[in-house]
């Protein structure tokens, strides 16, 4: 069975826009939602979704058929601006998406609403046309920067009252003034309003072996009576940086990695913050997961084999039977271009302007040498399963991973959405 096919028999339904390489698709599916439609523009990301079970259709060919239970989800390939969602009205439990983040990221020129890549207007229209029960939207933490704060508040107001369409040709701040008035009035049907909240998160706090700061927007249709306080409890951070330091201090981390040379342990221990260099016999949160943990395997994964120095030649050998675990030459480190450390969560995986960034994709090994991380190692840092196929060149695969939502991060939030929707329905 394909990866996406595993979700075909689930009861709750979902639609995903800007599906990319499939991180949020996987998360929503694991949370019990059956995808009715996926949309993506990128050629290689589309090929990845098809390789994992999506049925391809092209924008302009009409509506793909809504899949019955047991059928693989349709992938609509093309510009979301040309997609009509009216045929899905009232049939969608959760609308998910990670609109392109470049308009709001430090690496994307930060043009925000003026940038043609801004995908939020398409999310607003999809909500109007489908009226889903819940919305989950992930983006870069740059949305919270002071320069973007007014537009971010406007985004939340748009999700609050999506039925109020922004007049063509009007500026966003003009429409925002109208939304403010209507929200303050607090009138109108409850099934046309949403309760909206946002969460600034670090993926490492949710079991992802990577420090990745993002913002997640959640909205629930008001007529459902969802308990937002309950939702906030369900998505509290679960893993702890201090617990990582404490596990190193009391030896439980090193017991998990007995192969680490003594001098490496001593170097790592010398860098532990003084206030954290203590044992703790009481109950504590699970420790942050490290790059070494990811390579060794988390949640039942097998250990990735080392890549020999003479295999840094771009050749596929299927080391240990793993695909995309290929050595790549010419990795460099220098000031401002420092590598990942094995005994920390990896740095933020970035798409990069040309697909493969610098120090974020280099790892320092125990013998003092360094090399590029393989695509498979990077996929583990993004918590994709090893059997999730990625299409395209190495650069394109790395781009898809850098643009994705870490599966475990998305799963925590989508599982919480499922729980509060179930509880709200049972209470009515």
Angstrom distance (rounded) from CA 80 to CA 15: 13
Out of 28, 47, 76, 101, pick the active-site residue: 101
Angstrom distance (rounded) from CA 427 to CA 149: 36
**137 assigned to active site:** no
Give the list of residues 6+ apart from residue 3 with CB closer than 8 angstroms, or none. Answer: 26, 52, 53, 385, 387, 388
Quote the tokens at residue 61. Answer: 């060919």
**DSSP helix/strand/coil, 130:** helix
Angstrom distance (rounded) from CA 424 to CA 428: 7
Residue 311 DSSP one-character state: G
Report which of 317, 303, 298 is spatially closest to residue 259, judged by C-alpha positions. 303
CB 75 within 8 A of CB 19: yes
Alpha carbon of 419 to those of 26, 142, 173, 320, 412: distances in Å?
Answer: 17, 29, 35, 39, 11
CB 43 within 8 A of CB 49: no
Q: Which residues are registered as beta bridge partners of 337?
A: 334
> Nearest 5 degrees, angle CA 339-CA 216-CA 14?
115
> Nearest 5 degrees, angle CA 137-CA 141-CA 143?
75
Cα 71 off chain centre by: 25
CB 402 within 8 A of CB 349: yes
Alpha carbon of 184 to those of 34, 127, 170, 173, 322: distances in Å?
Answer: 36, 21, 21, 16, 56
Give the list of residues 6+ apart from residue 239 with CB closer than 8 angstroms, or none. Answer: 204, 205, 206, 207, 285, 286, 287, 288, 289
Give catalytic residues, as residue numbers: 101
């Amino acid at each position: 069975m394909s990866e996406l096919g595993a979700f075909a028999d689930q009861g709750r339904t979902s639609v995903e826009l800007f599906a990319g390489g499939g991180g949020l698709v996987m998360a929503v599916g694991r949370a019990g939602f059956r995808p009715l439609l996926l949309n993506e523009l990128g050629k290689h990301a589309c090929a990845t979704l098809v390789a994992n079970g999506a049925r391809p259709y092209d924008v302009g060919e009409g509506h793909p058929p809504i899949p019955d239970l047991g059928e693989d989800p349709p992938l609509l390939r093309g510009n979301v601006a040309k997609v009509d969602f009216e045929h899905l009205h009232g049939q969608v439990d959760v609308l998910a998406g990670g609109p392109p983040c470049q308009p709001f990221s430090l690496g994307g020129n930060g043009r925000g609403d003026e940038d043609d890549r801004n995908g939020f207007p398409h999310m607003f229209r999809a909500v109007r046309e489908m009226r889903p029960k819940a919305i989950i939207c992930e983006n870069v933490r740059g949305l919270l920067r002071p320069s973007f704060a007014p537009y971010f508040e406007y985004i939340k107001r748009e999700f609050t009252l999506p039925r109020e369409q922004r007049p063509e040709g009007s500026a966003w701040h003009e429409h925002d003034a109208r939304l403010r008035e209507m929200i303050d009035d607090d009138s109108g049907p409850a099934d046309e309003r949403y309760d909206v909240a946002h969460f600034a998160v670090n993926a490492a706090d949710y079991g992802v072996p990577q420090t990745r700061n993002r913002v997640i927007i959640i909205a629930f249709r008001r007529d459902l009576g969802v308990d937002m306080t309950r939702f906030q409890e369900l998505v509290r951070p679960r893993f702890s940086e201090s617990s990582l330091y404490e596990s190193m201090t009391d030896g439980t981390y090193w017991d998990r990695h007995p192969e680490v040379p003594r001098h490496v342990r001593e170097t790592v221990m010398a860098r532990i913050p003084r206030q954290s260099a203590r044992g703790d016999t009481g109950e504590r949160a699970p420790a942050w997961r490290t790059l070494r943990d990811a390579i060794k395997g988390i949640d039942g994964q097998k250990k990735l084999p080392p890549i020999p120095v003479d295999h840094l030649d771009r050749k596929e050998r299927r080391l240990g039977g793993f695909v995309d675990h290929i050595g790549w030459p010419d990795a460099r480190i220098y000031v401002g271009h420092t590598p990942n450390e094995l005994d920390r969560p990896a740095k933020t995986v970035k798409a990069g302007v040309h697909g493969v960034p610098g120090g974020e994709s280099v790892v320092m090994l125990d013998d003092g040498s360094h090399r590029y991380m393989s695509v498979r190692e990077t996929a583990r840092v993004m918590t994709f399963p090893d059997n999730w196929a990625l299409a395209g060149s190495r650069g394109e695969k790395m781009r898809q991973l850098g643009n994705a939502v870490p599966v475990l991060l998305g799963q925590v939030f989508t599982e919480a959405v499922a729980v509060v929707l179930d509880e709200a329905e049972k209470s009515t």
